[in-house]
Structure 1
C-alpha cells in the first residue's frame, strides 16, 4: 500500500486552518470586544496581550492557502472564484485591523478614537466574512463538471449570513477567555461578566448549525445519524457539552487559564464536526480530495518542504507564546 498523499495534504490543510482559527480567533475577538471597554488604558492592555504574536498568527492562513494551491489546485481555483468577494472583504478587514494596530499606539489623543474604530471595524469585517465563506462552503458550490457554475453573490443567503454572525460570536468568545487568562483587576472582571452570555450565545449558534445543516443537507444527516456512525461521532457533542459545563463552573471560581482551555476544546470540536460533515469532499457537495488532487509528483515534492517548514513554524510560535507568557499589566507592553 502506497502513501495516500491527498489524505496527508487534507490533514495538513485541516491543521493549518485550525491553527489559524484558534490563534487569530482570539486576536480578532479582542477587536470585537473593544466596544465593551471604554477606558483607553484598558484597551491598551487588551492590545498588548497579543502585540508580540498577532502578525505571526496569520502565518497559518498563508500556509493553508499555499498548501491548497499546491495539493488541490482545482479546489483553490473554484473556491477563489466562488468566494472572491467575501474573501476580498475579509482581507480588507485584516488590512484595516493591522494598520490600526500599528498606528493606534503612535496616534495622538485626538486621532486615537479613529484608529480604535478602524480596529473594531476591521476585526468585525474579517470575522464576519470568514463565517460567511464557511457557511457558503458548507452549503455547497455549484459546479458544471470541473468548473464553477455559480454566481458572484451565491454566498448571499440566510445560512452563510447566520454563520457569519456565529463566527463573530465565536471569536468574541475566544477573545474573552483569552483576556481572562492574560489580564487582571477591573478589566478581567469585565471579561468575566461578558463570558457567561458569550458562552451561552456560542452554544446557541453551535446547536442551531447542528440542526440546520442536517435538515437542509440529507447527505450530512446520513453521515451523522446512520449506524454505526452515530456512536462513533457521539463524543463530539458530548465534549462540547462537557467543555461548556467546565467553563460555567470555572467562571464561579476566580478562573485564570481554564476557561480558555475549555474554549479551545469547544472550537476544536466544532471544527471537527465540520470536517466530519464534508469528508472526503473538498468542494462540497460532490468533489473529493482525490478528484481535486494535483499530480502525485507535485504533491510529493511540495510535501518535503512543507514537512520541513511546519515544525519550524510550530517552534517559533511556541517560543513566542512562552516568552510573552503571564499577565499583562497597565504600562507594560507595546509602545
Structure 2
C-alpha cells in the first residue's frame, strides 16, 4: 500500500478524541461548576452559553468511539471488557445531562431535579472519562487477543487520581469559557474559580506525570531515551508557558486568553500521552498495526472519513461563528 492506513487512522481517531476533549470538556465543566453558582438567572446564563453547541461537541465522541470499533476492532474488543464500568457510567452521565438541557426549561417545581441531573451527569461523565484514561495508561493485560484482567482492574489509586484530575481540568475549561462568554456576576465568579482550578489542575498534572513513567518500563524508556527526551523536556516547558498565559490573562481581566491557554494545556498533555503510547493503541500489548482492520476495510472507511470529517469541522466552525460573542438570558448572543 502506498500509505500506512493504520497510522493514518490512528491519527484520525486521536484527532477526534482530542476534539471531543477540547470542545465537550468546557461544557462538561460548566455543569461541574453549576452547583457553585446560585441564582436562577445566573444558572440559566451558564446553560445558555453552551446550549447551542453542546450536542454538536459530542459528535466527536461518536466519531472516536465508532471509528475505534470499525477501524481497530481488536482494540475495541479488548478495551470494552476492561473498562465496562467507567464507560457505562460516562454514558449514563451524558444521558442525564443531555435530558436536563431539554427538561429544565419546561418545569418550575421540578427544576431542582434537572439542575441536579445537569451537575451530577457532567461530574460523573468527566470522572469516568478520567478513570478510563488512567486505567488505559496503567496498562491493560491481553492474552490470546482478549482481555486477560479482572472486573476491577480499572479501579486503582492512579485511575482515581486521573479521574479527579479530569474533573478539575474540565472545571477549569468551563470557568474560562464562562469568563469568555458571560458578563457580570457569573464572569467574575468564574474568574476566581479559574484561578483555583488552574492551580489544582497543574498540581494534578504534575502528580500524574511523576507517576506515569513508573507504571510501565515502556514509558520510562520512552520519556528518557534519546531523542524522545527532547519532547519530554519541551512539553512541560510549554505547559509552564501556557500556565503563565492563563494566570496573566486572569490577572489582567482578559476574556479570551485564559480559555485559549487552558485549551493549550490540555492539548499539550494529550500530546504527552500520545508520545508515551505510540506505537501502542492498547499499552503495553497491542500496537496500531496489530489491532487494525484489513487494509481494504481501512481504505473503504477512509473515503467516508474524507467526506465526513470536513463536514463536521465546517458545521462546528459555523456554529461557533454564529453564536460568537457574549450571552445573557434576555438578549441571547450579542
Aligned to 1:38: 38
1:186 Cα deviation from its structure 2 partner: 1.3
Matched, 1:51 2:44: no
* Conserved? CA contact 2:13–2:68, under 8 Å: yes
Which residue is 1:118 aligned to?
117
Cα deviation, residue 286, structure 1: 2.2
Are residue 106 (structure 1) and residue 123 (structure 2) matched? no
What's the CA shift for 1:215?
2.1
CA distance in 2, matches of 1:289, 1:179: 38
Aligned residue number for residue 61 of structure 1: 61
Q: Which residue of 1 aligns with 2:95?
A: 95
For normalisation by structure 1, the TM-score amounts to 0.97
For 2:230 and 2:14, the matched residues in 1 are separated by 23
Structure 1 range deviating more: 324-333 or 269-278: 324-333
Give 1:131-150 correspondences, 5 Å limit. Answer: 131-150=130-149
**How far apart, CA to CA, are the structure 2 residues paired with 1:218 and 1:292?**
21
Q: CA deviation at 1:251?
A: 1.1
Question: Is the 2:48–2:329 Cα contact (8 Å) retained in structure 1?
Answer: no
| Offset at residue 195 of structure 1 (A) | 1.1
Q: Counterpart in 1 of 2:17?
A: 17
Is residue 128 from structure 1 mapped to residue 127 from structure 2 by the alignment? Answer: yes
Distance in 2, Cα, partners of 1:120 & 1:203: 23
Could you say what secondary structure the match of 2:307 adopts?
A: helix
1:8 corresponds in structure 2 to 8
* Partners of 2:279 and 2:269 in 1: CA distance: 17
How big is the shift at 1:233?
A: 3.7
Match of 1:291 in 2: 290
Q: Following TM superposition, by how much is the alpha carbon of 1:90 offset from its aligned partner in structure 2, in angstroms?
A: 0.5
Structure-to-structure mapping, 1:161-176, within 5 angstroms: 161-176=160-175
Secondary structure, in 3 states, of the residue corresponding to 1:129? helix
SS in 1 for 2:150: coil
Indicate conservation of the 8 Å contact 2:133/2:162, yes or no: yes
CA deviations on 1:108-129 (whole Å, 9 max, x unpaired) are 1x21111101111101110000
Q: Deviations over 1:131-190 (max 9, x none)?
A: 000000011111112111112211111111111111101100100010000001111110
Q: Is 1:156 aligned to 2:155, yes or no?
A: yes
Alpha-carbon distance in structure 1 between the residues aligned to 2:235 and 2:42: 37
- Where do 5+ consecutive residues of structure 2 fail to align? none
Matches of 1:128 and 1:13, distance apart in 2? 21
Specify the SS of the correspondent of 1:49.
helix
Deviation at 1:289, TM superposition (A): 0.3
**Following superposition, which runs of at least 4 residues in structure 1 exceed 3 angstroms of deviation?**
none
RMSD: 1.2
* CA distance in 1 between partners of 2:283 and 2:231 (Å): 22
**Secondary structure of 1:155 counterpart:** coil
Q: Deviations over 1:32-61 (max 9, x none)?
A: 001110111000000000111111111000
Work out whether 1:274 is the aligned partner of 2:273: yes
Equivalent position of 2:243 in the other structure: 244
Q: Give the TM-score normalised by the residue count of structure 2.
A: 0.98
Greater mean alpha carbon deviation, residues 98-107 or residues 317-326: 98-107
Q: Indicate the SS of the match to 2:281.
A: strand
The 2-side partners of 1:253 and 1:180 are apart by: 12
Cα offset for 1:326? 0.2
How big is each residue's C-alpha offset from its partner over 1:194-244, in whole Å with a ceiling of 9 and x where there is no partner? 111111001001100110011222210110111222124422111100000
Q: Contact between 2:128 and 2:163, CA under 8 Å: does it hold in 1?
A: yes
2:72 counterpart residue number: 72
**Rounded Cα–Cα distance in structure 2 between residues aligned with 1:14 and 1:73:** 15
**Counterparts of 2:168 and 2:216 in 1: how far apart (Å)?**
24
